[in-house]
């Protein structure tokens, strides 16, 4: 009643969420999503496993107005 859940799921190649980037650079897209979620008081969850796809979920509060 007081939150909205956005979920995007794919059945792509997936990735190891704990692995260091092969190119030595940060995952700027993932970092940007995390920063944007924090700015609006939301929680970001990313679940992925190589070969099985990815689930990105954002839970954001709703103030009722």
Give the residue carrying structure tokens 């103030």: 63
pLDDT at 16: 80
Per-residue pLDDT tens over the stretch 7-56: 999 999 988 877 766 665 556 778 888 999 999 999 999 999 889 999 99
CB contact set of 14 (below 8 Å; sequence gap of 6+)? 48, 49, 50, 51, 52, 53, 54
Task: Please state the separation of Cα 45 from the chain's center in Å.
Answer: 5
User: How many Å apart are CA 16 and CA 54, to the nearest integer?
Assistant: 10
């Amino acid at each position: 009643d007081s939150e909205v859940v956005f979920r995007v799921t794919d059945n792509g190649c997936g990735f190891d969420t704990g692995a260091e980037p092969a190119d030595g650079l940060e995952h700027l897209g993932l970092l940007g999503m995390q920063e944007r979620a924090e700015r609006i008081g939301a929680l970001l969850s990313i679940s992925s496993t190589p070969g099985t796809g990815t689930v990105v979920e954002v839970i954001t509060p709703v103030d009722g107005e």
